[in-house]
A = this chain, B = another copy of it.
Amino acid sequence: MADALPKSPLAPAAFPDLPVIKGVRFAAAAAGVKYQDRTDVMLAMLDPGSTVAGVFTRSKTRSANVLDCEAKIGADSDVGAAIFVNSGNSNAFTGRAGGESVAAICTAVAQSTGLPEARVFTASTGVIGERLPHDRIIAKVDALCEGLRADALEDAAEAIRTTDTFAKGSATTVELNGQPVQIAGIAKGSGMIAPDMATMLVYIFTDAKIARAELQALVSRLNDQSFNCITVDGDTSTSDTLLMGATGASGIDVAGNAEFETALRTVFLDLAHQVVRDGEGATKFVEIQITGAFSDAEAKTHGLAIANSPLVKTAIAGEDPNWGRVVMAIGKSGAAAERDLLSISFGDVLVAEKGWVSPKYREDLGAAEMKKQNITLKVDLGIGSGTATVWTCDLTHQYISINADYRS
């Protein structure tokens, strides 16, 4: 399946050069979980002194791996940590067997790395409802430990792909106290969804030094501004996981450092945007900017209502400047709106204001905006100071083909 899909037209030109992050090493291997002739397991090994924080899907039917990570993530520890991921099988909705597979993998990784099981974080992504062949996975653990390399983060990005049409990576460097601090991350996912519910997984690493509780607050805050602001079709995986590890190897403490947060935000946003750019069937990348809402929360409600509306998404696919559908989505969102105070722009073209089409609007200007590959929709509610930005893609025939025509 993954190989059958052409690369998204919205993909970046190339995978970025990722810097070495001191204090963390990576390895990937081919365990034959489902796919043949490709890597499908990866290990990330964080040195002693690292802190780890994370956020997880809120699904009520979340996977055994997510439940296990949630139980472990809040503990302070100095001994280091391992992140172990397989693709090809999500280990979700596999009853009691799911928990048994997680425990077996954690035991094997702990034995091979010398870490306690409480410091082994796992994720599985791929088909749902099929028992995870964890023996095949465990058979690769020793080799992964032996193959750990500081410069293998791209290998890890390849190994966690399922139906992704391109591997996703992002990195930045921020100079603090005259010294460089490195940040690099990888992600997989074609939006919230994919055939067999492929999951969104994100792993971000830095050599900055930061206490666990402060890292957790930072991760939660940036996640709300990035991965929680993207949608492909509103569906939510049972396995979504974001983990961040800070090794402290640079010696630079970044607690409360605004420059570091700004730099880290660029990596969160870049990876979140890449997930949207690999949205199933996507041909347009859409940024929706909401201003003038009652509150920031209500602005996000409006933004996601527009971003998830099949009528808006099909209009964008058809390059139709159909502002009426935007009005409809605002009306149904549940958040406060006043018809006659709304204004709507496509790019810099003011389309509607004062409850009607703008007298200056010309259809050819709106149509020209919709022909772009990157589209910006701006909505001002005119009733408050709440703002939000969300990102989505269009809804095309290819989405239907991927999800209906091919059998899983």
Q: Are B328 and A238 neighbours in the complex by a CB distance under 8 Å?
A: yes
Contacting B at CB under 8 A, from A219-273, are 233-238
B339 and A61 contacting across the interface, CB-CB below 8 Å = yes
Interface residues in A386-401 (C-beta closer than 8 Å to B): 394-397, 399-401
Task: Indicate which residue in B97, B236, B310, B333 contacts A233 across the interface (CB closer than 8 Å).
Answer: B310
Chain B residue nearest to A128 in the complex (CB): B324
Our pick among B95, B318, B355, B400 for the contact of A355 (Cβ within 8 Å) is B95
- Copies of this protein in the complex: 2
Cα A394 to Cα B403 with chains together (Å): 12
- A59–B339 Cα gap in the complex (Å)? 10
- Report the minimum CB–CB distance from A153 to chain B (whole Å): 29
Q: Mark A308-347, 1 if CB is under 8 A from B, else 0.
A: 1111001101101011110111111101111110100000
Separation of A323 and B128 alpha carbons in the complex (Å): 9
Tell me the complex Cα distance, A234–B234, Å: 11
Contacts of A309 in B (CB 8 A): 234-235
Q: Given A62-B331, A317-B400, A318-B407, are A235 and B310 also a contact pair (CB < 8 Å)?
A: yes
Known A-B contacts A97-B356, A408-B320; A403 and B310 likewise in contact (beta carbons under 8 Å): yes
Whether a CB of chain B sits under 8 angstroms from the CB of A357 is yes
Asked if residues A332 and B95 are in contact (CB atoms below 8 Å), the reply is: no
New contact pairs (12) apart from A93-B357, A128-B327, A235-B329, CB-CB < 8 Å: A59-B328, A59-B332, A60-B338, A93-B356, A94-B355, A95-B356, A197-B311, A234-B309, A310-B395, A318-B405, A318-B407, A395-B404
User: Could you list some 22 contacts between A and B, CB below 8 A?
Assistant: A59-B332, A61-B337, A61-B342, A62-B331, A93-B324, A93-B352, A94-B356, A95-B354, A96-B340, A127-B324, A193-B311, A197-B324, A233-B310, A234-B309, A235-B309, A310-B395, A314-B399, A315-B403, A318-B407, A320-B404, A395-B400, A397-B404
4 A-B pairs closest in CB distance? A95-B356, A61-B331, A59-B331, A128-B324
